[in-house]
A and B are shown apart, each in its own frame.
Chain A
Amino acid sequence: MGILEIRDCTIRFGGLTAVKSLNMSLERGALYGLIGPNGAGKTTIFNLLTGVYQPNEGSIELDGKSIERLKPSRIAQLGMSRTFQNIRLFQSMTVLENVKLARHLTRTQGVFDAIVRTRRLREEEVKVEQDAMELLEIFKLDGRADELALNLPYGSQRRLEIARALATNPTVLLLDEPAAGMNPQESLELMHLIRSIRDRFDLTVLLVEHNMRVVMGVCERIQVIDYGETIAIGSPKEIRDDPMVIEAYLGGA
């Protein structure tokens, strides 16, 4: 059984069925792409997975645990982390603090230790800072660690979001359009980065992306949805040649 299993998930908003009987299965270590035309329901699926929405029907299992009724914070604690399509960094914090915040889950010290600032707490803070700096180095953001997150250029903000998501020690990483707004050179680097962090952190990655070059280049398996329903699943090559997919993207005759 896969690390992430979605079975027959349906969510309706009023009369609109945004996602209909969705099935998806991610093997551990997979690089899985989720694509579809605008409004197909991709971000809704992300919101279902991370607990922002709850499905009307169906089940979602993360590593064998049922998560479809849990709060987003609980799901994050169980090992699913995400980035956002419209970047949601903590703007009043520095780059470093953004990543340090996400290390919160590894904290062992209680609120009293924080108030009286025990030695153990200070040691833990040093460790958190080291971990955070290491992550920033991987994303080439260590030089700007003390800058406010909102002052970073767009591409760097996207990378910082991934670094922050990784800081929670996830097993499954959801990337919502990580290449949006990037130039071809940047998206190429991003593809390498995604592959290398998957190997380095032993991740399973689910990617929603509009940039076909990125999806085809990086994903090993792709699921295509349209109007909330799956229309194809397969390898990049199979997807490229699938008549249903071509029709969904280019419109039927």
Chain B
Amino acid sequence: MNKKIISFQNKIFFSLLILFCSDFYFCQEYLKEQFSLAQNLYNREKYFDAVTELKRLQFFDREGIYDFESNKLIAECYKAGGKYSEAIRFFSYAEIYAENFDDLFDIKIEIVRANILRRTASNAIKLLNEMEKEDRWSDKINEINYWRGWAYIFEDKWDIAAFEFAKISPYHELKTLCEETHQKKYSLTFAQVASAILPGTGQFYTGNYLSGLLSLAWCGLWGYTAIDAFVEDRIFDGLAVTNLLFFRFYRGNLQNAARFVREENIRIANESLHYLQHNYKGPRP
């Protein structure tokens, strides 16, 4: 009787064991297939559908086997779709499930890259500075400096970017590019001071000769009229011309000097950014 009971108990035990293993095996297989499907959609650039399939994977993946890979791929889909805030959110989830330091470092760099593209480069710089302080990334300092250089490029601080690339190598291609860009740029302070001393010179400095001549002419005309009025004791007329006309054109001259410098500097920066986006062969955000 006892033998029969033991034999029956063994059957139940083995049945359950086989059921569990088969469930686990088939479940694993279906999850693997689902992940492959999502990857396939990602490779075919169907990012919205890929995110749907990855969310399906996450919903059915009760064990959390694919937590890291699914969150990382969802983030990459959002990044490719230009939705950087969502990308950063899912990279942050992937960071929690990273299983080794290499994966963790890669994810942190992805967050930095997404921040750069989102034009929140200051966040990227903060993250990189924090990573630099940690001992575990001491062998990856070149990569940290590289992405910090890119962050400064997007902050339009080309001189500091050149300094960061110089830390990697004094002959780094991006160091040269950043230095050249910085040298081509016009000085805002110089333009404003020049225009303050002689109206129109700030515009001449940036090559806007016609605007400079007009500024000089108007300021000259109203300045002469005001002085003439004061000399002839027409104080009210002199004050009216000075306040309503001379100062208006003088202020306009200073504004234009600054505006033309900003426009030119943006044009110079955009030329370099266009090169970096379309011609530069190295890793980009």
A binds B: no
Binding site for B on A (CB under 8 A): none
